[in-house]
Structure 1
Amino acid sequence: MADEIRALVFDVFGTVVDWRASIARQVETLARVRGLTVDGTAIADAWRGLYQPSMSAVRDGTRPFVDLDVLHRESLDALVEQHGLGSLDDADRHALVLAWHQLDAWPDVVEGLTRLKRKFILGPLSNGHVALQVGIAKHAGLPWDVILSTDLYRTYKPRPEAYQGACKLLKLAPSQVMLVAAHNNDLGSAREQGMRTGFVVRNEHGQGQVIDQKAEQDWDVIADDFVDLAKRLGA
């Protein structure tokens, strides 16, 4: 199976980067500068909780496409008052939106990607737009070959065109491309489009995580982390 695969594309938020700890830290840092005391982890969780709902109107065609910075800002504005950040001005809120461009990778990621890069084409396939993905890659030292984002197709996962578009841009058949993700639903959508699937276990939501604690289907590869993924794929 591994010999047939030419490219690996990766979900990013939660799979490649630890958004929760990264956002919590940056929120608390800015809050201290402004003389505020907040729970950064609670804010990160609340912000992420609005992620999927914010994209739904774009996916169902009732709203024209806007990128994730716009959606993140709208979601932030909706939650600041209840979390003690209501006094932040426009510049501060913009800075927090840009925090999503500088998320830390999980400890195994760079080593695993470096090994995988010897054998496969690598790139993100994320709902984060191209500039956001470039920012994360620069910040975290991710050795991508290509940046693939759903904003290239003016939609969001799990719309079929997000997965189909990545394969078309790489000029590869879906069976030659593996989506790697820590989310069973993302992998299920990729499999429906004929792609290969790789599940990696992540505890992105902390001790309260109740979903994606294990593989829920017979994905092509199930790995503990990116180094284990590289071993299983012969890289």
Structure 2
Amino acid sequence: MTDLSGVRALTFDVFGTVVDWRSSVSAEVAAFLDRHGVEADAGLFTDRWRREGYAGGMRLVRDGELPFQTADQLHLRMLKILLEELSIEAEQAEMEKLNRAWHRLHPWIDSPGGLQRLRSRFMVSTLSNGNVDLLVNMAKFGGLPWDCVLSAQITGAFKPEPQCYQRAAELLGCESHEVMMV
């Protein structure tokens, strides 16, 4: 077993690790498509939204092709493209509501209890490329008992840029070797 005696804080990459983003967002996408009378695979829509909008958008930011943007901004940018491709005309408020599906992600069944148990020994915090308000809303929605909500947003760069991890350790009052990323 790994020696964790020097670890004071655990930081979590939330999407997929703590929450089931795909099922959560796909359900909201399916309802949205149904309301608009569009027959399309909600899971594929969601996968593309995540892959090209979020991951692809972060790549564009890292490569200097886009200025830094929050996860919400990157998701909305791609959502508009996907809706246009499907010839869906939606009001701005309706698009923003769907875009906020990323704030309403259901945790994996063992996440809240597991985090609570870990809190007895470690500081537990997010360290996600998601924006701060997204992570706070997600924590409230899913009952996730974080000690702290940290985001790459605070550095104006995305993980895996070193400053994201270094700033998180600093804000947690730890040396880098005292923080474990989960």
- In structure 2, the residue matched to 1:37 is 39
Q: Which runs of 5+ in 1 are unaligned?
A: 181-235
Alignment of 1:29-68 (within 5 A): 29-50=31-52, 51-68=54-71
Partners of 1:139 and 1:85 in 2: how far apart?
32
CA displacement at 1:91 relative to structure 2: 1.8
Shift of 1:93: 1.3
CA distance in 2 between counterparts of 1:28 and 1:117 reads 36
Structure (1 or 2) with the greater helix fraction: 2
Q: Which residue of 2 aligns with 1:75?
A: 78
* Letter matched to residue 55 of structure 2: Q
Counterpart selection for 1:107 from 109, 126, 138: 109
Report if aligned partners of 1:18, 1:106 keep a CA contact under 8 Å in 2: yes
Query: 1:112-191 alignment to 2 at 5 Å?
Result: 112-180=114-182
Looking at structure 2, the residues matched to 105 and 85 of structure 1 have their Cα atoms a distance apart, in angstroms, of 32
Alignment partner, residue 24 of structure 2 = 22
Residue 35 of structure 1 deviates from its aligned partner by 3.5
Contact 2:36 2:88 in 1 (8 A): no
Cα RMSD of the aligned pairs, angstroms, is 1.4
Q: What are the Cα deviations for residues 51-97 of structure 1, in whole angstroms up to 9, with x where unaligned?
A: 22211232234432221111111111122244x36222322211111
1:91 to 64, 74, 93: 93
Aligned residues with identical type, % of pairs: 42
Between the two structures, name the one with larger relative contact order (CA 8 Å, sep ≥ 6).
2
Of 50-59 and 65-74, the range deviating more from structure 2: 50-59
Unaligned ranges ≥5, structure 2: none
Kept in 1, the 8 Å contact 2:9–2:124? The answer is: yes
1:141 partner amino acid:
G
**CA-to-partner distance for each residue in 1:123-159, whole Å, 9 max, x for gaps?**
1100001000001000100000001000001111111
Aligned to 1:205: none
TM-score for both structures, normalised by structure 1: 0.72
1:116 shift after superposition:
0.4
Partner of 1:197: none
